[in-house]
Amino acid sequence: MLLELPPKLVGEKRLTFRDLDWQAFKQIQSLLEERTRARFTYDNGVLEITASLEAHERSARLIERFILILVVEMGMKMKTMGSTRLDREDLLKSAEPDNGYYIKNYALVADREVNLNVDPTPDLIVEVDITHTDINKNMLYARMGVPEFWRFDGRVWRILELVDGAYVERDRSPTFPIVEKRIYINF
């Protein structure tokens, strides 16, 4: 009897560069951002350029809708950042998440452009990483000070909360207490 494994999920195509200083990263980003829809993640010398495929985009949009429904149903307000670039040159970190949200800190940034040099990071970051990433996104967002981080790998959704500089997996979302740990999804 043969055991048939499920097909390997592919959600993104990635290209990684190592040993790049901030200026080299910004030059590459500047050259490519107008010619491609790729997203750029930089972490202390490592640049990952990601092109999202259908499975990635479908998952990211469904999670985005879910969050919108939660905000409306719970009577909250939010500012969505989409995949707005979060640059922190002082930390040598830059990311373009699938989505970032200001919910608890909505009033601080509601009617103006966010400036991470003076404003807090988004309250919640969502990342869909179906295929392997060379950047440790938990460490990247923890170092940037993002309080809550949701990760979806194509099968399992993890809810992470920043505690003492590192993420701890939680049973419930600190922002949306009705959302439980490890929701298994089959899109």
* pLDDT exceeds cutoff 50 at 179: yes
pLDDT given at position 37? 85
CATH of the domain at 156: 3.90.1570.20
Let me know if residue 144 belongs to a domain.
Answer: yes
Lowest-pLDDT range, 62-66, 105-109, 152-156?
Answer: 152-156
3-state secondary structure 97-129: CCEEEECCCHHHHCCCCCCCCCCCCCCEEEEEC
What is the mean pLDDT of the segment spanning 13-37?
92
- The three-point CA angle 156-158-161 to 5° equals 180
132 band by pLDDT with thresholds 50, 70 and 90: confident
Per DSSP, 6 falls in state P
Give the residue numbers spanning the domain of 106: 53-184
What is the mean pLDDT of the segment spanning 161-181?
91
What is the mean pLDDT of the segment spanning 42-58?
92
Lowest-pLDDT range, 6-20, 48-62, 88-102, 156-170?
Answer: 6-20
Let me know if residue 66 belongs to a domain.
Answer: yes
Let me know if residue 96 belongs to a domain.
Answer: yes
Let me know if residue 104 belongs to a domain.
Answer: yes
Residue 47 pairs with which residues in a beta bridge? 17, 42
Let me know if residue 117 belongs to a domain.
Answer: yes
Q: What count of other Cβ atoms lies within 10 Å of the Cβ of residue 38? A: 18
pTM of the model: 0.87
